[in-house]
């Protein structure tokens, strides 16, 4: 027996470690690529990182494809994406959300996210269906209305990953950033509902749908959205409460933050609620309380680990996106691709214009024309649409391949053309940039003074605006919630 172990020391067994090894190599490759991009200053100044990563993925994919290694390619599976790659990004987004800007503009963000996405979905799918009736979609011309609607729902959602990747580099002002970014996060609830709803309708069959199904669909929208928020808040409160008692075991403080935000995401997904909403609101809820409870070192650890994890996720997603493009699973349909792209741009533009016109009547700081253009232009599509379209069941969707190709084209168009041109455009149009400076002592104190003062003015005029609500919330928070959680 002893001799056997001695021989085994020198054994080579790749199969044993294959999967984790591949994953580790992927992460290393993606991260080294990232370093490479920033070494060449000229390229990384013009082209956003996400584009370069997609291109790198494409190259790797092409090599594997040409060398007939296709069965060894780990394409971006929906499970990998939704369970492992997406959560770190949304958790980070929620935790580092500029709360104040977010809640000050929540009404506008929700309008764009809910009504805007609904409008895009209906507009794109109806138009596509109309074109199909006219026979402009070629081989896909016998597509049913329901299948159009499903496709519309997955293609019209603005993607948080792509938006983050591009807007982080552009540094537009806070209002513009939070509007586009908040919309991309909150529209997840709409996308989830519409996708599941139309998928289920499609299985029930167009002729068997009765009014109650439609009503149930509308009701489920509120359940999915608000349920996600509720789960997020519950987990956020639990985390805050637990971190109260970690005084003596500081090393596990970051762990609670990570695990509970991940759990909130998974729990929401378990009930088919919006995982993105859950994770975002978990982060928003816990942040202030957790930071009051944990040590400075833990805080730094949380900050860096979160940023690192989400960065790696983002990198891997974009490389995967490129890699997964190269396969034989395509059906090029010129009419379908071009019309989809056209409708995506058209309805996004119209939607923003009309909604902003309505919103500006009620807003104190108006969105300017330039703002609207950047918001319409910032409607990037990404890996969420990509994963959802791959999830489609080919038995129910004979047009799946054409849909995949069209989705990929829309993603590439938005990530490449819009992603690369947005920075020069922002410069050209003189979009107000974010002025990052550390607020001085006077500014910090006056900020609070002004908040209370404006709340008092609102009380006196008897108008319950957002100063009033913020003051109320702060009062409750300071007098009741903080006593329990901090």
Partner 1 sequence: MGSRASLLLRQEEIEEIQRETGFSHNQITRLYSRFTSLDKGQNGALSREDLLRIPELAINPLGERVVQLFFLEGEDEQVNFCQYMRTLARFRPVDPNQKNNKDGVNSRDKKLEFAFRMYDLDQDNRISRDELLQVLRMMVGVNISEEQLGSIADRTILEADTDGDQRISFEEFSKAMERSEVEQKMSVRFLD
Neighbours of 384 (CB within 10 A): 28
Under the binding rule (CB under 8 A), the answer on residue 456 touching partner 1 is yes
Under the binding rule (CB under 8 A), the answer on residue 475 touching partner 1 is yes
Query: Of 19, 72, 334, 478, which lies in the binding site for partner 1, with binding defined by CB under 8 A?
Result: 478
Among 38-46, 210-218, 358-366, 371-379, which window interacts with partner 1 (CB under 8 A)? 358-366
Cα 79 to Cα 96: distance, rounded to the nearest angstrom: 25
Under the binding rule (CB under 8 A), the answer on residue 449 touching partner 1 is yes
Under the binding rule (CB under 8 A), the answer on residue 463 touching partner 1 is yes
Smallest separation, CB 291 to partner 1 (Å): 15
Among 73-81, 94-102, 186-194, 466-474, which window interacts with partner 1 (CB under 8 A)? 466-474
Smallest separation, CB 175 to partner 1 (Å): 10
| Residues that contact partner 1, how many (by CB under 8 A) | 37
Query: Of 364, 394, 395, 436, which lies in the binding site for partner 1, with binding defined by CB under 8 A?
Result: 364
Among 34-42, 230-238, 294-302, 469-477, which window interacts with partner 1 (CB under 8 A)? 469-477
- Locate 215 and state its tokens: 């009503």
Query: Of 45, 218, 465, 473, which lies in the binding site for partner 1, with binding defined by CB under 8 A?
Result: 465
Query: Of 10, 39, 210, 435, which lies in the binding site for partner 1, with binding defined by CB under 8 A?
Result: 435
For partner 1, the closer of residues 17 and 453 by Cβ is 453
Among 176-184, 263-271, 293-301, 471-479, which window interacts with partner 1 (CB under 8 A)? 471-479
Smallest separation, CB 193 to partner 1 (Å): 32
Query: Of 393, 457, 473, 480, which lies in the binding site for partner 1, with binding defined by CB under 8 A?
Result: 457
For partner 1, the closer of residues 81 and 102 by Cβ is 102
Under the binding rule (CB under 8 A), the answer on residue 455 touching partner 1 is yes
Cα 271 to Cα 292: distance, rounded to the nearest angstrom: 32
Smallest separation, CB 374 to partner 1 (Å): 18
Query: Of 32, 135, 448, 484, which lies in the binding site for partner 1, with binding defined by CB under 8 A?
Result: 448
For partner 1, the closer of residues 314 and 371 by Cβ is 371
- Locate 378 and state its tokens: 């910032």
Under the binding rule (CB under 8 A), the answer on residue 100 touching partner 1 is no
For partner 1, the closer of residues 82 and 289 by Cβ is 289
Q: Which of residues 273-332 bind partner 1 (CB under 8 A)?
A: none
Diameter over CA atoms, the chain: 90
Query: Of 366, 393, 421, 427, which lies in the binding site for partner 1, with binding defined by CB under 8 A?
Result: 366
Under the binding rule (CB under 8 A), the answer on residue 447 touching partner 1 is yes
Query: Of 365, 421, 427, 434, which lies in the binding site for partner 1, with binding defined by CB under 8 A?
Result: 365
Under the binding rule (CB under 8 A), the answer on residue 177 touching partner 1 is no
Judged by the rule CB under 8 A, the positions of this chain that interact with partner 1 are: 362-366, 435, 437, 439-443, 445-450, 452-463, 465, 467-468, 471-472, 475, 478
């Amino acid at each position: 027996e002893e001799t056997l172990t001695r021989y085994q020391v020198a054994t080579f067994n790749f199969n044993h470690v294959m999967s984790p090894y591949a994953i580790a190599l992927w992460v290393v490759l993606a991260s080294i690529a990232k370093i490479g991009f920033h070494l060449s200053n000229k390229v990384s100044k013009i082209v956003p990182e996400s584009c370069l990563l997609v291109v790198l993925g494409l190259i790797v994919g092409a090599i594997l494809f040409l060398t007939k290694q296709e069965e060894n390619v780990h394409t971006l599976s929906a499970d990998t994406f939704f369970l492992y790659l997406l959560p770190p990004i949304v958790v980070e987004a929620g935790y580092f959300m500029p709360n104040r800007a977010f809640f000050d503009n929540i009404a506008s963000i929700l309008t764009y996210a809910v009504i805007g996405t609904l409008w895009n979905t209906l507009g794109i799918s109806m138009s596509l269906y109309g074109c199909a009736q006219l026979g402009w979609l070629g081989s896909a011309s016998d597509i049913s209305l329901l299948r159009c609607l499903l496709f519309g729902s997955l293609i019209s959602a603005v993607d948080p990953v792509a938006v983050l990747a591009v807007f982080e580099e552009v540094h537009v002002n806070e209002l513009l950033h939070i509007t586009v970014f908040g919309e991309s996060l909150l529209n997840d609830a709409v996308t989830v509902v519409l996708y599941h709803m139309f998928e289920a309708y499609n299985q029930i069959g167009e002729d068997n749908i009765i009014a109650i199904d439609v009503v149930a669909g509308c009701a489920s929208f509120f359940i999915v959205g608000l349920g996600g928020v509720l789960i997020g808040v519950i987990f956020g409160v639990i985390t805050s409460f637990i971190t109260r008692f970690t005084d003596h075991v500081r090393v596990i403080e970051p762990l609670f933050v990570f695990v509970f935000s991940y759990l909130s995401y998974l729990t929401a997904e378990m009930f088919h609620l919006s995982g993105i909403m859950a994770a975002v609101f978990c982060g928003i809820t816990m942040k202030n309380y957790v930071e009051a409870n944990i040590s400075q070192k833990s805080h730094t650890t949380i900050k860096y680990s979160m940023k690192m994890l989400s960065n790696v996720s983002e990198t891997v997603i974009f490389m995967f996106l490129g890699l997964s493009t190269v396969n034989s699973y395509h059906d090029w349909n010129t009419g379908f691709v071009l019309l989809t792209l056209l409708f995506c741009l058209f309805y996004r533009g119209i939607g923003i214009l009309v909604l902003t016109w309505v919103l500006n009547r009620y807003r104190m700081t108006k969105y300017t024309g330039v703002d609207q253009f950047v918001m319409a232009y910032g409607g990037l599509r990404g890996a969420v649409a990509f994963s959802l379209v791959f999830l489609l069941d080919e038995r129910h969707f004979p047009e799946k391949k054409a849909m995949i190709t069209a989705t990929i084209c829309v993603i590439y168009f938005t990530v490449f053309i819009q992603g690369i041109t947005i920075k020069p455009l922002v410069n050209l149009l003189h979009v107000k940039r974010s002025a990052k400076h550390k607020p001085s002592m006077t500014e910090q104190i006056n900020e609070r003074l002004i908040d209370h003062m404006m709340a008092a003015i609102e009380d006196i005029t008897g108008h319950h605006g957002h100063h009033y609500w913020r003051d109320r919330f702060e009062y409750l928070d300071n007098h009741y919630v903080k006593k329990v959680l901090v």
